[in-house]
Amino acid sequence: MVLARTEKLNRKLSAILYADVHGYSRLVDNDEEGTVVRLIRSQSLISSLVGDYGGSVVDTAGDGLVALFPSATVALDFAVEMQREMSNAAVWSGGQEPIAYRIGITIGDAIVGDSGVYGHGINMAARIQALASPGGICITESVHQFVRNEPECSFRSLGKQKLKNIADEVEVLAVDFGRTHAEPKVSALPFAPAPQRSVPDSSLAVLPFENVSGDPADLHLCQGVVADLISDLCRFRNLMVIARHSTFAATAQTRSLREIANKLGVRYVLSGCFRRVGNKLRIAVDLIEARTENTMWSERYDGGIEDIFAFQDDVTATTASRLAVQIDMAEKRRLSAQNHPNVDAYGLILRGQDLSFRFRPESNWHARRLYRQARDLDPHYARSYAAMSRTFNVEWRYAWTNDPEGALNEALNLANLAVQHDDLDARGYSEMGLARLYKKEHDPAIAAYERALQLNPNDADLLAEMGDCLVYVRQAERSVGLLEKAMRLNPYYPDSYLWYLGDAYFQLGEYEKTIETLQKMRDDSEGHRLMAASYAYLGNAREADKHAQALLEVHPNFTTAQWRKVPPHKYPEDTELLIEGLRKAGLR
């Protein structure tokens, strides 16, 4: 193509990504309208995600797109996440043949003009994408030189390829990557939970369902179903349900139901297996008395993905009744009043949750876009607003925004919308509590957490977060009690529980207990502030200085003047207690 002499050109060395839909003509021939709708939806999401992962879309034509990235590593990261996203989306395709992209990546000059993008690199990327399998990625050797140490990928040489209209043969490699992310690996218990005199009669662990369909893309659905069952069962005040994180960890260590129950301190386990073929599901569940390994109740469910909500309701109610747990009037009202969401919106929420375990800015933004799609599909779905609220809270807490006040305001606004759409779901209230706490609106924050706990009294994370909130309003004794309960429900608890507990002991002036608690953190990088101040108040200048220096290594720009603005204490003198301890430790 001949460019006009007057056209402004910009030549740029970039990692060039070319993506194209496999078998597009055949898809259109089979279902023109449906294919176009799904293509527009997928391209809209992909185009918006490119910027989140550091790139820019420079051309879209028909069923393909071209994007430029500042480095090969960033381009490959995006390509892997894009293919994972499309693989997960295929689970919810409703029996239609899913859209599958092939991706090619190379490094070269891209000539960006007013009317399009041109250059040898564009042609190269287009040619090698044709060598990728549907849902796959191919790269040139020049890209491989930069990405060969990527931990999540392996590379398989396809040999030197003769490509159309390219003079020299090119070494091409296929990228092998896991189609979905599992939950992060869990290390050993930070410390054993408090010994129990007896295992409570109504105590239960819902184990991860076995994905027997063989498709790793189903993992997010398996995990999501289990998470929702646990959340539903946590509403029964007289039923002790172990948190998902801990059941995942215990199951990873042993397959013995008796050992799992002993590790978690429960009398019963609920196990299941999951199979999906197209839009059809088969789910089998067993409620087992762990000590004898006798099955109390067994059921198999067959249906479509749209039947997943009826399955969850049935398993929740039956499990509770089999364990002789009384369903109170509030719970009956919630069950009768609830409206099940659009199933595609539900799928988007589960896919977003799969991203939430990574705690990276691009993953947080990616999840937010999925939640927004869920809201657009079903504007009355409260969970989409609560999930979006969490992304803004996380963005604020990790300083991933240039407008922290705006992020916190949006988190609160979305939490309010979640409550408006479903005032019987604890998620909206918990997000409201978190946002109001960091806006230093203490009484409304506590009220929101109290309401959330009324709705879900045995949710371990919710108990821990309210425990954290209470520290800032001089209710540290109650905070300790809530955190100990959270640790019982989630014995493989994250470091955040220890941080909250250490903060409570610090507010109580129990500096030895603060140190003892924080020493059990797996990653102590966020514990150095309290450790330094605690040792300083105990008169141990050597250890105080050690943790002060460690704090500056993690946060080189730390100052007490800046940190004074962070803790949301209701009473300024409580903030000053920490600041004075940090100064005694030598920090300025």
pLDDT for residue 114 is more than 70: no
For residue 68, list its beta bridge partners. Answer: 16, 56
Rounded distance between C-alpha atoms, residue 222 and residue 278, angstroms? 15
Last residue of a domain, one of 142, 177, 212: 177
Predicted local confidence at residue 529, as pLDDT: 94
3-state secondary structure of 316: helix
Residue type (1 letter), 586:
G
Q: H-helix or E-strand containing 275?
A: strand 268-277
How do residues 393-413 score in pLDDT, each as one tens digit? 989 888 888 998 999 999 999
131 and 230 in a single domain? The answer is no
CATH number where 298 lies: 3.40.50.11830
pLDDT for residue 329 is more than 60: no
8 Å CB contact between 80 and 175 = yes
- DSSP-assigned states of every residue in 8-21: -EEEEEEEEEEEEE
142 and 216 in a single domain? The answer is no
Predicted local confidence at residue 177, as pLDDT: 85
How do residues 540-587 score in pLDDT, each as one tens digit? 999 999 999 999 998 888 899 988 988 999 999 999 999 999 999 999
How do residues 217-248 score in pLDDT, each as one tens digit? 888 888 888 999 999 899 888 889 999 989 99
Rounded distance between C-alpha atoms, residue 29 and residue 31, angstroms? 6
For residue 204, list its beta bridge partners. Answer: 241, 268
Give residue for tokens 């894009």.
82
156 and 255 in a single domain? The answer is no
3-state secondary structure of 413: helix
Q: How confident is the model at residue 189 (pLDDT cuts 50, 70, 90)?
A: very low
- Nearest to 81, CA basis, from 133, 18, 135, 33: 135
3-state secondary structure of 34: helix
Rounded distance between C-alpha atoms, residue 198 and residue 106, angstroms? 62
Q: How confident is the model at residue 27 (pLDDT cuts 50, 70, 90)?
A: confident
85 and 215 in a single domain? The answer is no
- With respect to residue 506, please indicate whether it lies within any of the assigned structural domains: no
Last residue of a domain, one of 337, 368, 401: 337
126 and 246 in a single domain? The answer is no
pLDDT for residue 181 is more than 90: no
Rounded distance between C-alpha atoms, residue 557 and residue 579, angstroms? 16
8 Å CB contact between 438 and 423 = no
Total domain count, the chain:
2
Residue 580: phi, psi to the nearest 5? -65, -40
**CB atoms closer than 10 angstroms to residue 233:** 22
Q: Is 585 exposed, middle or buried (0-12, 13-18, 19+ CB in 10 A)?
A: buried
- Nearest to 212, CA basis, from 299, 305, 276: 276
213 and 134 in a single domain? The answer is no
- Nearest to 331, CA basis, from 428, 457, 231, 235: 235
- With respect to residue 123, please indicate whether it lies within any of the assigned structural domains: yes
Q: In whole angstroms, what separates CA 328 from the centre of its chain?
A: 32
Domain boundaries, position 165: 9-177
Among the residue ranges 79-83, 339-343, 371-375, the one predicted with the least confidence is: 339-343
Last residue of a domain, one of 282, 304, 337: 337
Predicted local confidence at residue 429, as pLDDT: 97
